[in-house]
């Protein structure tokens, strides 16, 4: 059975409203489904923002077991930050910037001002409602920043990538289960005189997820290769596996890389020396640091040093600046008054 993630329309033609669902690809378009994953309302609410409520944990599960998203669903998941953009959406017409005005995902047509109405629903109370404007910042209160960078965490399973991320984001230490597919978190911080937005992607280390995680190398300005100082295989796999994947999939030749040895709090169990880590970092052209996600030793320093190095690379610095400028431009265009009250 091939599972498809697709939309099923519930509303009328002028006020469309969709369920996001996992369905057997052999079933009719609006027929039997395996699971309802949430809803999507292409018509903005009273606050001017598009609305969707999707259980992203379940979406990640279906993606991890090979479910194929339809193009409309792929567009939604891209806007929510879970998938890279579909080729035509990323390119735009004739290679130009894409139109970010709200569209009907089934037809691809721009929703005009006259058709906007609040049709948000609580049909699925267990899903989280997400405001997708500017990657959800409105939900946190509007946060101004100067630069935006994408950082990727890679390495074998159970080396502590997720714990490292949680420790940095929330100052907490949690006992986490292995990541399924890909997860991400956003962190705002100040480095020097610049306010930064870091979108940090946490990838699964298991081999069965490699085809899913490979696309997330695209556009990353910084990549952290994590190993466990108490497990030599996780260290040797950095050069045997992860460095090769980075070279194959990374879209930035000047991407900043950092080698991080985690779990230094378990010094009595250490099998990889600091000197070995430094030597491999020099060989791979990486920064180097050892840390402990459990005690938070060097956790903040890890991300701060990586970010400072990214800011020293002119091309990456310019790219980080462009992200913010593009968002502001898109919002201004979207909020510009429109003449006439007739729909096309």
Q: Do the two domains 3-80 and 147-316 of this chain adopt the same fold?
A: no
Exposure string for 75-88, b = 16+ CB within 10 A, e = fewer: bbbbbbbbbbbeee
Classify 52 in phi/psi space as left (phi over 0), alpha (psi -120 to 50) or beta.
beta
C-beta atoms surrounding 45 within 10 Å: 15
Residue 213 is predicted with a pLDDT of 53
Coil, strand or helix at 263: coil
- The band of 170, judged by pLDDT with boundaries at 50, 70 and 90, is confident
Q: What is the share, in percent, of the chain residues with pLDDT greater than 70?
A: 60
**For residue 171, what pLDDT is reported?**
63
Given the candidates 3.20.20.70, 3.30.930.10, 3.40.50.1100, 3.30.1320.10, the CATH classification of the domain at 3-80 is 3.30.1320.10
Strand segments (E) across the chain: 3-9, 18-24, 35-41, 51-54, 68-69, 129-131, 147-154, 182-191, 194-203, 222-228, 256-262, 287-290
Give pLDDT, residue 118: 36
Q: Which range is least confidently modeled, 74-78, 295-299, 322-326?
A: 322-326
- How many angstroms separate the first and last alpha carbons of the chain? 41
Q: What percent of the chain has pLDDT over 90?
A: 30
pLDDT at 243: 93
Order of strands, sheet of 18-24, starting from the edge strand that comes earlier in the sequence? 68-69, 3-9, 18-24, 35-41, 51-54, 129-131
The pLDDT of residue 283: 96
**CA angle, residues 240, 63, 56, in degrees to nearest 5:** 115
Pairing state of beta strands 51-54 and 18-24?
unpaired
Region 307-333: mean pLDDT is 72
For residue 157, what pLDDT is reported?
A: 87
Return the higher-pLDDT residue of 186 and 291.
291
What's the pLDDT score for residue 284?
A: 96
Measure the CA–CA gap between 279 and 239, rounded to whole angstroms: 12
The pLDDT value recorded for residue 203 is 76
List, for residues 129-147, the tens digit of each pLDDT value: 333 333 334 333 346 789 9
40 DSSP β-pair partners: 18, 52
Nearest to 228 by CA among 279, 156, 284, 297: 156
- What is the pTM for the complete model shown? 0.57
* Lookup result for tokens 């280390």: 205
pLDDT at 51: 64
Instruction: Look at 20 and 261; give whichever has higher pLDDT.
Output: 261
Dump pLDDT digits (tens) for 216-272.
788 899 999 999 999 999 999 999 999 998 888 888 889 999 999 999 999 999 999
Between 165 and 67, the more confident residue is 165
Asked if 87 contacts 316 with a C-beta cutoff of 8 angstroms, the reply is no
Residue of higher predicted confidence among 113 and 272: 272
Please state, in angstroms and rounded to a whole number, the distance separating the CA atoms of residues 86 and 91. Answer: 9
The topology under which CATH files domain 147-316 is Rossmann fold (3.40.50)
Tokens read off for 29: 């378009």
Domain residue spans in the chain?
3-80, 147-316
For 39-93, the pLDDT digits (tens) are 777 775 543 445 667 887 788 777 766 778 888 888 888 777 677 665 544 444 4
Residue whose structure tokens are 């002028």: 14
CA distance 258 to 255: 10
Q: Residue 231: which of 133, 156, 337 has the closest Cα?
A: 156
Q: E strand or H helix at 64, and its extent?
A: helix 56-64
């Amino acid at each position: 059975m091939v599972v498809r993630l697709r939309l099923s329309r519930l509303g009328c033609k002028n006020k469309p409203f969709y369920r996001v669902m996992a369905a057997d690809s052999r079933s009719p378009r609006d027929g039997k489904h395996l699971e309802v994953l949430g809803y999507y309302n292409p018509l903005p609410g009273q606050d001017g923002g598009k609305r969707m409520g999707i259980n992203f944990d379940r979406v990640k599960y279906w993606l991890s077991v090979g479910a194929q998203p339809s193009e409309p669903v792929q567009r939604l998941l891209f806007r929510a930050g879970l998938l890279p953009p579909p080729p035509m959406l990323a390119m735009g017409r004739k290679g130009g910037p894409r139109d970010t005005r709200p569209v009907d995902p089934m037809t691809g047509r721009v929703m005009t001002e006259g058709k906007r109405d609040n049709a948000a629903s609580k049909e699925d109370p267990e899903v989280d409602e997400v405001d997708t404007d500017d990657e959800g910042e409105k939900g946190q209160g509007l946060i101004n920043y100067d630069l935006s960078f994408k950082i990727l965490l890679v390495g074998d399973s159970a080396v502590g990538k997720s714990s490292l991320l949680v420790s940095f984001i929330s100052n907490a230490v949690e006992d986490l289960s292995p990541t399924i597919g890909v997860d991400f978190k956003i962190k705002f911080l100040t480095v020097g005189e610049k306010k930064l937005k870091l979108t940090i992607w946490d990838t699964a280390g298991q081999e069965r997820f490699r085809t899913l995680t490979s696309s997330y190398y695209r556009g990353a300005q910084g990549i952290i290769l994590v190993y466990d100082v108490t497990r030599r295989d996780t260290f040797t796999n950095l050069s045997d596996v992860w460095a090769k994947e980075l070279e194959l999939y990374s879209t930035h030749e000047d991407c900043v890389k950092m080698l991080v040895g985690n779990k230094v709090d378990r010094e009595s169990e250490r099998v990889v020396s600091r000197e070995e880590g430094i030597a491999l970092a020099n060989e791979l052209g990486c920064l180097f640091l050892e840390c402990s996600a459990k005690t938070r030793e060097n956790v903040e320093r890890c991300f701060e040093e990586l970010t400072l190095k990214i800011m020293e690379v002119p091309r990456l610095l310019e790219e980080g600046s462009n992200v913010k400028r593009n968002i502001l431009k898109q919002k201004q265009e979207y909020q510009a008054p429109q003449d006439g009250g007739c729909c096309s």
